[in-house]
Structure 1
Amino acid sequence: MKLDNVKLSQLRALVAIAQHGNFSEAALHLEVSQSAISHAIATLETELGVIVLSRGRHGAFLTPVGERIVTIARQMLYLLESVGKEAELAKGLQGGQVRVASFRSVATHVLPCVIVEFRRRYPAIAITVTEYSGDDGIEEALRRGQADVGFTCISTSDEFEAWEILRDEYFVLLPPDADVPGESISWDDLKQYPLILPPDNDYCAILIYTYLSKLGHNLEAAYRIKEDSTLVGMVAQGLGATIIARLAAEPLPSNVQIRRLPVPLERVIRVATLARALHSPAVFAFLETLKQMTEAGQLKQAPRSNDPQESLKIEASWN
C-alpha cells in the first residue's frame, strides 16, 4: 500500500470529526466547508482502502479501524506541531504563537490586561484565546495539543503543571426588592428565596453543593441555568437568588443586591500547562509575564473576606 497521497488535511479532518462527532462541527472547527471535510474523508478512505467513519442520522462514528487510525493521526499531528516548536526554539522570541484556553470570567476580566502587557513586551508573538464553557474542555484542549496554556478552577492531576494566580470569592445575589440588612446573609434569610444555580454537572454547582454539604445545609435549586449572564438577569428580574463567583457575576446590574455568604467560599483560579509538552520560548515568555503580574498584584482581584483564614476553600473534581 502506498501512502504518498495521504495528506495532513485529511488526518486533521478525521481528528476533528472524532472530536466533534459530526461533519458540520468539524468544518466549523477547521474553518473549511462541510463538502471539503466530506471530500477529505472520502479520499482518505480511498487511499487507505478501509472505512474509518460510519455515517448516520445522528452523526459520524469511528469504525474499529478508524479508532486505531485516529489515535495514530493525533500522534502524527502532535509530532508535526513539535517540529514547529523546535523551529520556534531556534528563532527565539522573534516570532511564535501562544494559544490560551480559558473560561469566560477569566477571559473577560483577567486576560485582557495580561495580553496588553505581553504584547508590549513581545510584539512579534501572536496570541490566541479560545473560550470554553467548562474546565473539562480546557484540560482536554491541553491534552490534545490544541492549547499551550489553560486557566482552570479544578484541582489538576499530575499530567499538568499548575500554579495559583488568584482566588475569587462567591457571593449571594439578591433581587431588587430583597430586605436583607448588612454585608452578609444568614442561612434563614437565604432559604426564603428560590435558588438559581448552574446544572448539576457544572463545576460551579459541584463546588457550591460540596460547600453546602460540608456546612450541613440542604438547599435545592428552583432553576438550573448554564449561562452566568442569564443567572444574573433572572435575579435582576426578581425570580430568586443565586450563589456566584464575583468575577462570573460581573458586570452586575445596578438593581441587584449583593451579600456575602454566612461562611465565605472561594474558588482557586490556576494557570496550567501539560507537563510532558515541549513548550516554545513564546509560551515560557507568556508564563513568566503572567507570573510577574501575579506577584506584583496586577491581576484583577475580586473583593475578599476581611479574614482570609475564615474562607472555606473547596476543591471539586470531575468523576
Structure 2
Amino acid sequence: MNLNNVTLKQLRAFKAVAETGSFTKAAESLHLTQSALSGLIKDFETTLSLRLFDRTTRKLSLSVAGQHIYPMATKILYDVETMATEVGRLKALESGVVNIAVSQQLAAAILPKVMAEFVTAYPNIKVSVKDCSVDTVISAVASGEVDFGIAPARNISDSLSSEMLFDLPFYAVMPQAHPLTKRDSVEWKDLKHEKLITMAGVFSDLLSDELPEEEAQMVKNSAYQVNFLTTAFSMVNQNLGVTLCLPYSRARVAQNGLEMRVLTAPRITRASYLYRLRGRAFSDAAHKFYVVLCQHLQSNDYT
C-alpha cells in the first residue's frame, strides 16, 4: 500500500459519497459524472486495499473500514482547506498600495534604493510616489492624499505628526581641480571669496537663520540662486561657482564629476522627517514600506 498515491480528489469523492449515501448525489455535488466518481472511489479502495462501502441494491453505507477512514479523511480535507484560507490571507497581507509624497531631492537620492529593496521583498504591493516640493509633501499628507510624506523640516499644524529620520551636515560642492578639494573638510569662512550658487526659497532661508551673521550674508548675497540642485551641479561643473548640498546627493555629485567636502565651523545640519496625519493608522502596506525605509536608513550611512 502506497499512501503517496492518495489524492485530494479521491478524499473529496469518498467524503461526498459517505455524506450523501448516493453516488448520484455525490457526483452532482462535485460536478462529476457518475463514472468518474466511481473511478475515484475504486482507485481509493485499491490504494488502501480496503472496501470502504457496503453496497446493496437498496442501500449504500460505509463499511467498518470506511467508518474508521471517514474521520481521518475529513480531518485531512479540513486541514487542507484551512491551509488554503491561511495562504490566501497571507497573500492579501502582501498586496495593496502604499502612497508616498517625497521632496524632490530625497526622491531622487534615497527613495529609488528603498523602493528596490521593498519591491524585492513585497512584489505584490504597488508603490505610488509623488515627488514634489516640500510644501506639496506637507499638503498631500494633510489632505490624506498619501499614507505619509518624507521631507526636510517644516512648521506643521497640530493635525500632523513628524518623526525624524536622519539629521545630516551640509557639504560644499566644487570642481575636482578646486584648491579646497585638498582638504578633508571646509570651514564656512573658506567660502567667503567663492561665488556661491544657492537654492532659492526656504532651503537657503532656513540655512541663513542657523548661520552666524557673516556666513549668513554669504548665503543671502550668493552669486546665483536656482530652483533645482541639478542646475546648481551643472553650473559648478562649468566653473561658475561652488554650491551646497546634503550628503545623500553624493552619487549625483560624482555623476557630475565634482567633489564634496563637509562644512564645519559651524557644522550645520538639516533633518528630514516622516510626516503623517495624526491619528491615522498605517495600512499594512504602508507599515511594511515604513519598516523597509527604517531598515535601509539604519544600514546605510549617508553622512
Shift in alpha-carbon separation, 1:162–1:255, aligned structure 2, 3 A:
same
**What is the match of residue 134 of structure 2?**
135
Is the partner of 2:253 in helix, strand or coil?
Answer: coil
What is the aligned-residue RMSD (CA, Å)?
2.6
Match of 1:284 among 287, 290, 296: 287
Alignment of 1:223-302 (within 5 A): 223-248=224-249, 250-253=251-254, 255-262=257-264, 263-294=266-297, 297-298=298-299, 300-302=300-302
Q: Distance in 2 between matches of 1:128 and 1:122?
A: 14
In structure 1, distance between residues paired with 2:224 and 2:240: 9
Map 1:156-175; keep pairs closer than 5 Å: 157=156, 158-175=158-175
> What CA deviation, in whole Å up to 9, does each residue of 1:78-115 have, x standing for no partner?
xxxxxxxxxxx9x9515321011112332233222322
Q: Is the Cα contact below 8 Å between 1:93 and 1:125 reproduced in 2?
A: no
Instruction: Show CA shifts across 1:162-206 (max 9, x none).
Output: 22222332111123443234222244431111111011x23x212
**SS of corresponding position for 1:221:** coil
CA distance in 2, matches of 1:111, 1:247: 11
Structure with bigger gyration radius:
2
Cα distance, 1:232 vs. partner? 0.9
- The amino acid across from 1:285 in the alignment is K
The residue number in structure 2 matching 1:210 is 209
Task: State the TM-score, normalizing by the size of structure 2.
Answer: 0.61
Give the TM-score normalised by the residue count of structure 1. Answer: 0.58
Change (3 A) 1:237 1:159: same
State the distance in 2 between where 1:243 and 1:154 align.
17
**Alpha-carbon contact 1:167-1:301 (below 8 Å) kept:** no
Higher helix fraction: Structure 1 or Structure 2?
Answer: 2
Once the two structures are TM-superposed, the CA of residue 228 in structure 1 deviates from its matched residue by 0.6
How far the C-alpha of 1:127 sits from its partner, in A, is 1.0
Q: How does 1:37-186 map to 2 (within 5 A)?
A: 93-132=93-132, 134-155=133-154, 157=156, 158-180=158-180, 181-186=182-187
What is the Cα deviation at residue 225 of structure 1?
Answer: 0.6
CA contact (8 A) 1:141 1:147 kept: yes
For structure 1, list consecutive stretches of 5 or more residues without a partner in the other structure.
Answer: 1-88, 304-319
* % same residue: 24
**In structure 1, the residue corresponding to 2:275 is in which secondary structure?**
strand
Query: Secondary structure of 2:223's partner?
Result: strand
Structure 2 vs 1, CA of residues 277 and 190 (structure 1 numbering), >3 Å: closer, same or farther? same
Q: What is the deviation of 1:138?
A: 0.1
Using the alignment, how far apart are the partners of 1:229 and 1:276 within structure 2?
A: 37
Return the letter of the residue paired with 1:234.
M
**Counterpart residue identity of residue 99, structure 1:** N
Q: Which amino acid aligns with 1:143?
A: A
Q: Which runs of 5+ in 2 are unaligned?
A: 1-88
